Amino acid sequence: MLTPENARRLLTLDSAGGLIAGTLVIALHQPLSQWEDLPPALLLFTGTANILYGLYSGRLAYLARCDQPLHSTALRFLVAANAFWTLVCLILTALFWPRATAWGIVHLVGEGIYVGVLAWVESRVFFAK
């Protein structure tokens, strides 16, 4: 059963993942670029997207903590954003497959799997019938 506490926990985990990953990728984009053979601009872009997403899910976690209603539209947007980012990660993997190192591919595929699983879990948790 979805309780406000469970919603807050899931949204906090979601937010922390985006904020931590985004911050690390932006802070380390130069060495990551060399290690993964991915363009620095791509890493800055993905890091920024992760931070923006983390802020959005963090806002929802804050609302859940303050016992504010979580609107279905906001939660659907969250799930859709995760699903969309999964697709973006797959496209980036295909585009950079020929040039990226194994670490670069693991980075892109791993992020895609992480957000894909989040989309699936959140859709089950927030929209279970």
Q: What residues have CB less than 8 Å from 36, skipping those under 6 apart? A: 43, 100, 101, 103, 104, 107
According to DSSP, residue 99 is labeled: T
83-117 burial, b for 16+ CB within 10 Å, e for fewer?
Answer: bebbebbeebbeebeeebeeebbebbeebbebbbe
The mean pLDDT of 62-81, rounded to a whole number, is: 92
CB 47 within 8 A of CB 26: yes
What would the pLDDT profile of 69-78 be if each residue is shown by its tens digit? 889 999 999 9
Q: What is the pLDDT of residue 53?
A: 97
pLDDT given at position 3: 72
Region 104-128 average pLDDT: 94
| Whole-number pLDDT of residue 7 | 84
Give the per-residue pLDDT at 129.
Answer: 64
Contact 59, 19 (CB under 8 A): no
Report pTM.
0.91
